[in-house]
Amino acid sequence: MKADIGDRVIVNATRPGAARRDGEVVALHHPDGSPPWDVRWSETDRVSMFFPGPDTQVHHFEHPGQDLRPAGVLHTFAD
């Protein structure tokens, strides 16, 4: 599973009564878009590192003519 900056992440509830979560990918840790990603969650507006599971869907959005990876957005935690 791969994502790009600006894609929507949806995590479906896996048990009764649990809420579905959704958020926006705001940063990548690998240039090919493989996990983990930094996601800003819509219900809290907090950003966390996210590793997708089998209950995750990624909705890709096209942004013609717009580079969504400005310098400094792709990062690792080695520095």
Report whether 24 contacts 11 (CB < 8 A): no
- In this model, does residue 13 exceed pLDDT 70? yes
Band of residue 77 on the pLDDT scale cut at 50, 70, 90: very low
Q: Where are the domains of the chain?
A: 8-59
The model carries a pTM of 0.74
Predicted pLDDT of residue 68:
52
Question: Would you say residue 78 has pLDDT above 50?
Answer: no
Residue-wise pLDDT for 29-74, tens only, equals: 999 999 999 999 999 999 999 999 999 999 987 756 555 555 445 5
